[in-house]
Structure 1
């Protein structure tokens, strides 16, 4: 009987099933525990990302402290701020898993750098069966910020007669219907045939009016976003109030009093002419105006102190030159001296070479096919206007917008782009 008992195999299935159940439960449990650990790590990584960026944001405690002190190296205030960011963005249960975290925030002459590292031990449930009580996870985040804190803006607004075009196609049609078929509201001051006064009386909006209002909106944005009274300074320029002396004209000197600059922007008007054909219509010399502005702005600085300011030329124009330029014109002259062409970008290159950025808002030069002069002289290069305006701008600082739709939004967006923001780098 003893030998027959040894040969009996009828209980093997139950034994094998029991062993397999242990393996199966361990495998399923491992998946559950590891998923839980990965979820915890993801939460901690998001907190680390937030801390790395928040600790060196433009308006953060550490950045403001370093800029006010003019200090470099480790920034204790920023490191403490990073810890608060990390804790504030992590729930209490997940934060309890953290076994070690390090914060390192430093500044060199031009850049703030933050690095956050964390290690955590996430408890297991099922893996305890095989003696594994926790799963270790780790992560890091790095951020850099090159602040443009102190900035001078040179706002150049094209107020030449072409900016007297109706702001929208409906405004153009309204002017044409009441202005002898002309879509431009020429400003003949004090004259009975002043189309500018006519435009106002019939409710036609001109692009110069839209631009002036948008400039005031942008100045409001600068005022509400600045951290120091002299953080942003502005100067305001046009091509002059009268065609008889059309050239770069200072409307408001460089100042940190943005309320005064805003008030001056509200006074900007269309350039007036003594009569049709004054100066042979050659009143939009963007090349000369920008050349003068290049010398006025000089060389741009790092922006890290009030004495070493970042500089930005802010150009708002329809992008077409009409100037007395018998030599050097990029297109065929009309007569002996009249040069009509898209903006000459050579001066933009020189400005940027001086470390001065250029923000360009191109108020689209609308097709005016009803105008014979436009068809003959402007339409042949119309497709080049936007191309040249974009080439004039610094990288990422170009917008094209219809004068009637979103000029204020575009100017605000350009301003905010100029003000650097922090970014994650790893």
Structure 2
């Protein structure tokens, strides 16, 4: 009987099934548990992605913090934001135990990098029969953001007597028709501190004539609104405004507004820019437009250019607005024929080249020098090189930063367009 029992094979299948049932159930359960773990990982990865992106989003506290930093380093505000976003994204999700999270948000140069990592434990069910109590999932998310460039703008505005010409052909015609010598220029005569009430400057006001410097002043003030709208932090753009001088007797740069990020203050001061005064007509042979001296002087004020990566290392931009005709005492190096020692010429770009060689960018807004066909002086001295003026002004500018506009076409729009072009151009980092 014992031999028959041992030799009987009729129950093998049932026994084998019973023996294999545990690993089969465990394996199937493990597959289900891994599937659950993958769903948890997907949830956590989505939350980590959202947290990393939020940490360096353009409008985030982290970016604001970075814009105020003068050196590289961690961004504590961004870390706090990332953790909040991660928690908000995961909510009250169940089915896992969060073991750890780690957040790193660092500013390096002009780049912000956020790294959010996580680890969680997902309890198993059927896989427990194999001794597998939990499945561990982990992952990380990375996000980067390129901060905006910090820039210092030095606005150099030509307010010399030639900028007293009528702003539009209609304004020129009105001045010519209302002056005995058919003069299109609103000469601003002030002698010994006393304004000449009969000067053409006051006549222009009475006639309602707009002169070119008035349009430039208005456009400069309006530019501050554009800058405030585009900046990402209050100290991203700083502005300084200079003119060629207050009076012809002392033609040195006049500081209208010192370098500051208080653009409201600059706006108020810029709106009051006026035409350079002269003590009398033809004072000093009208040699008040000395571009060489003005550009050299602004270069001495600007200081060393930076990389633009931080507030402590801003790029330097000279924003030059003029009609492009020089008129100064320059007997030996004038590019055109001289009248005695007087040099009238389209801008000599020597000083522009020197500024660019130092690492400064020059943005040039050329306010078209309008023809004055009834003016003998214009016909003899300016008309012969009229076509060269815009070419020289463009040569003064850094590549891509030249704009020509007639006052009647909208200097305000042109000035804003040129500014937007500056701030949107790529910055060289090496």
- TM-score with structure 1 setting the length: 0.68
What residue number does 2:177 align with? 177
* Corresponding residue SS for 1:405: helix
* Corresponding residue SS for 2:327: strand
C-alpha displacement of 1:65 = 5.3
Any stretches of 5+ residues in structure 2 without a counterpart? 1-52, 86-104, 115-142
C-alpha displacement of 1:355 = 1.4
* Corresponding residue SS for 2:339: coil
2:396 to 392, 395, 405: 392
* Corresponding residue SS for 2:424: coil
Q: 1:380 to 1:106 in 2, by over 3 A?
A: farther
Q: Quote the Cα distance in structure 1 between the aligned partners of 2:158 and 2:371.
A: 18
What residue number does 2:366 align with? 362
What do the CA deviations read for 1:239-273 (whole angstroms, capped 9, x no partner)? 11111112222122112221221111122111111
* Corresponding residue SS for 1:312: strand
Q: Quote the Cα distance in structure 1 between the aligned partners of 2:60 and 2:352.
A: 34
1:347 aligned to 2:348? Answer: no
1:373 to 373, 377, 386: 377
Q: Quote the Cα distance in structure 1 between the aligned partners of 2:306 and 2:247.
A: 34
C-alpha contact 1:72 1:109 (8 A) present in aligned 2 = no
Larger CA deviation: 252-261 vs 153-162:
252-261
Q: Quote the Cα distance in structure 2 between the aligned partners of 1:209 and 1:198.
A: 15
1:189-338 to 2 correspondences below 5 Å: 189=190, 190-335=195-340, 337-338=341-342
1:415 aligned to 2:416? Answer: no
What residue number does 1:157 align with? 157
What residue number does 1:125 align with? none
Q: Quote the Cα distance in structure 2 between the aligned partners of 1:200 and 1:338.
A: 30
C-alpha contact 2:175 2:183 (8 A) present in aligned 1 = yes
Larger CA deviation: 221-230 vs 350-359:
221-230
Size of the aligned set, in residue pairs, is 329
Q: Quote the Cα distance in structure 2 between the aligned partners of 1:383 and 1:373.
A: 17
Q: Quote the Cα distance in structure 1 between the aligned partners of 2:399 and 2:61.
A: 30
C-alpha displacement of 1:152 = 1.2
Q: 1:111 to 1:374 in 2, by over 3 A?
A: farther
Q: Quote the Cα distance in structure 2 between the aligned partners of 1:177 and 1:56.
A: 62
* Corresponding residue SS for 1:419: helix
What residue number does 1:50 align with? none
Q: 1:416 to 1:203 in 2, by over 3 A?
A: same
C-alpha contact 1:111 1:147 (8 A) present in aligned 2 = no
C-alpha displacement of 1:56 = 7.8
* Corresponding residue SS for 2:289: coil
Q: 1:407 to 1:76 in 2, by over 3 A?
A: same
- TM-score with structure 2 setting the length: 0.68
Q: Quote the Cα distance in structure 2 between the aligned partners of 1:379 and 1:56.
A: 56
C-alpha contact 1:143 1:422 (8 A) present in aligned 2 = no
Structure with higher RCO (Cα < 8 A, 6+ apart): 1
C-alpha contact 2:56 2:78 (8 A) present in aligned 1 = no
Q: 1:178 to 1:226 in 2, by over 3 A?
A: same
What residue number does 1:128 align with? none
Q: Quote the Cα distance in structure 1 between the aligned partners of 2:185 and 2:152.
A: 34
Any stretches of 5+ residues in structure 1 without a counterpart? 1-52, 85-104, 115-141
What residue number does 1:187 align with? 188
1:166 aligned to 2:166? Answer: yes
C-alpha contact 1:187 1:272 (8 A) present in aligned 2 = yes
C-alpha displacement of 1:236 = 1.1
Q: Quote the Cα distance in structure 2 between the aligned partners of 1:271 and 1:382.
A: 23
Q: 1:313 to 1:422 in 2, by over 3 A?
A: closer
C-alpha displacement of 1:380 = 0.9
Aligned-residue RMSD, C-alpha: 3.6
* Corresponding residue SS for 1:253: strand
What residue number does 1:96 align with? none
What do the CA deviations read for 1:40-60 (whole angstroms, capped 9, x no partner)? xxxxxxxxxxxxx99988656
Q: Quote the Cα distance in structure 1 between the aligned partners of 2:55 and 2:426.
A: 10
C-alpha displacement of 1:298 = 2.3
C-alpha displacement of 1:146 = 7.1
C-alpha contact 2:326 2:344 (8 A) present in aligned 1 = yes
C-alpha contact 2:110 2:149 (8 A) present in aligned 1 = no
